Structure 1
């Protein structure tokens, strides 16, 4: 299931992205020599007209090779030797005006955004507007809060969030709308237990939406996916196990469980597990020591991990029927909100508010794809939409070889009145390739560390 879900996810999204480049290039009269899903040497394919349509060996990207577009760099991406000199043509990429080249380079990202919007719209239209049927909050993550809102850590874990300012909260999906509607001094009100916390919300809507990431949905002390080979798997834990006590200490929420496990690195730890229908079992697990950076102090600390994911299956979901106009609106709103959250995550990653260890590569993508697929078609399509936006945002980074890097080259050309030379672009693109490969290897190392608990 995981392998199939990953192949479908990456294959569809890479195809959509490259289709954008391909159609835009054809529209402005640029010759397209190759349309490839994957990188490196050709695996299979066929020739139709001027274009070679192929699937390549490395399934971590794709490309559209256009006439005259930095041939030396493209040959390296294709996995072959650099081609010799070629005669320029009116159908070359560089022969077109800047506006046409900007359109072609931007089209892949635009298609990813459009595809995400369509997926969100289809989900809302066929199944209804997805609502998380809960307003119960978990432990507020202090390090993810925007400046000036630290008092929100006083909201009690497990409480029902019923109001933000003048906006009532009926379900979890009301929270972003309420944060966008309010600014300045705002009171957060909870019930069961009752509490009120007043903070000065930022005037910047994007900053206010950061509170969503810091305000987690309450989850029970239960096992989501149990990683193969992990301490939890070796101890006999199963997906869906509800942990009621750790070494005799009662635990109710996911954060209770995490806290008890973190403090017992390398220590045999007894878990009391409720498997329903009156069945209670005891399992002894030894949390593996794992070093991470404390985001509050910057110090390296050793924590314990047992290799279970959070219980996403426990999140209550309901669907409210909407008409065509409502589905389109829902698609647009979710696309904008997810884009804002992903941009905020990247900013926090750069500024150090989010640890670099949270970045994942193909391993994390595969794990999340498999989890989404197991939860059903709607969850998988929702994850595909999110990842489509993620792909678009990452491609806009101003790194040579990515779309953002090509747009940067065109901006330099517009300002200078002349383009960078082919040699300059080739050298910068090779540097960009090294940067991208380095980032991919770093993210892959995080996957490996997570898998082996290093």
Structure 2
């Protein structure tokens, strides 16, 4: 799938899902729906069914549902050049004639549908492809600080040694290793390794907490290779490419993926030299590491993913896939909210914002990586779209909800003129953000 086509699919599907939420919520409260539009600006083509006109407009970067009497939407149409100034008789099915709760439901339904889409996409990917886990059984790192009593002999196992058997059970992936350690009967158990061949005995703990500590104490080994690079990330700006193999960070040798990522995470905001091997040549790339906050602690982020071949997939039942889908949606929501917080507080530069160009690059890369990767990207972008639409900026859903909140507090709606002025301000803010994001991408692409 080409980058252009992938971008159209992502934007088209997610905008349709968002506007479908508004549309169905309007139907649920019996509001008059005059137009359902995918895209902004002049109409390209469309048709009318019942009372509603369904159209495709020329700018595919959004969409709207036009309700009868919805002053905010009339303002939006005027800003887009599609307004109708002909007089109209108010009716009981007008948007403004509905109670505040019904209008709030209509306005928030697009965001709700985007979040539901993300949950559904993550759930489907897990149900169809399984839970991703390392395909290796090689030991990368043993963290002796977390090892429960009776398991200390794991410290003597060399990095790169391969798990062969846990008790009487053979293991073929890191997921097998984790399940074997967590689910084995409590008491003594033999662990067999290869490369070099050796066996040790440990005691499996009784409590679930200690079993989880045991699993967390042993990490699988993955080569510090670059599978993909996030467009606009520090790694991208520093010149890292898929296929590169990292051998050192800030002069410290790294033998595997987790050592590499641990070095990056421990250096938030630092400018470091990353040593890589590319097609047999050793290169050094200076990179300034981004800052992210996880549970109140600042960590470094560079914007790379490990090679896809490092993972295998284990099937799970639908109920477990739904739980994974929920957790993934919550985790992505927290990540995006954290990014916005850091953007506002100065922890992240506005220069990290990306435009439709970045979206296109990420969409195309995700599509090239496979259907599961593409669906994951669509789910992530759907959450992104939902959160951005909730920002209290007039012309966005969050701005409309802010108008409703003020109406509820005051006991009467703001005047049309006041809403119009604030919507013009909101329009300028959104355009300004889009121009900044587009300029960031041009600067990045031109190498300035």
Q: Does 1:128 align with 2:130?
A: yes
Counterpart-to-counterpart distance in 2, 1:354 and 1:326: 35
Aligned to 1:11: 12
Aligned to 2:224: 220
Aligned to 1:69: 70
Counterpart-to-counterpart distance in 1, 2:119 and 2:144: 30
Aligned to 1:407: 401
Aligned to 2:204: none
CA deviation profile, 1:252-292 (whole Å, cap 9, x unmatched): 677899x9xx779xxxxx98633xxxxx4x5999x8x99x8
Cα contact 1:159–1:191 (8 A) shared by 2: yes
Aligned to 1:384: 378
Aligned pairs for 1:247-396 (under 5 A) are: 273-274=278-279, 280=280, 282=281, 310=304, 312-314=306-308, 316-396=310-390
Counterpart-to-counterpart distance in 1, 2:66 and 2:27: 12
Runs (5+) with no aligned partner, structure 1: 138-157, 175-180, 194-216, 265-269, 275-279, 297-307
How many angstroms does 1:78 deviate by? 4.1
Q: Does 1:99 align with 2:104?
A: no
Aligned to 1:204: none
How many angstroms does 1:244 deviate by? 6.5
How many equivalent residue pairs?
368
Aligned to 1:48: 49
Aligned to 2:91: 89
TM-score, scaled relative to structure 2: 0.69
Cα contact 1:223–1:242 (8 A) shared by 2: no
The secondary structure found in structure 2 opposite 1:34 is: strand
Deviates more, 1:308-317 or 1:344-353: 308-317
The secondary structure found in structure 2 opposite 1:319 is: strand
Change (3 A) 1:44 1:358: same
Change (3 A) 1:161 1:412: farther
Counterpart-to-counterpart distance in 1, 2:215 and 2:123: 31
Counterpart-to-counterpart distance in 1, 2:33 and 2:334: 34
TM-score, scaled relative to structure 1: 0.68
How many angstroms does 1:319 deviate by? 1.9
Q: 1:398 aligns with which of 392, 401, 407?
A: 392
Cα contact 1:125–1:321 (8 A) shared by 2: yes
Runs (5+) with no aligned partner, structure 2: 152-173, 179-207, 293-301
Cα contact 2:245–2:276 (8 A) shared by 1: no
The secondary structure found in structure 2 opposite 1:86 is: coil
Cα contact 2:227–2:243 (8 A) shared by 1: yes
Counterpart-to-counterpart distance in 1, 2:278 and 2:79: 51
How many angstroms does 1:311 deviate by? 5.2
Aligned to 2:37: 36
Change (3 A) 1:347 1:249: closer
Cα contact 2:226–2:306 (8 A) shared by 1: no
How many angstroms does 1:381 deviate by? 0.7
Change (3 A) 1:271 1:13: closer
Change (3 A) 1:370 1:53: same
Aligned to 2:110: 108
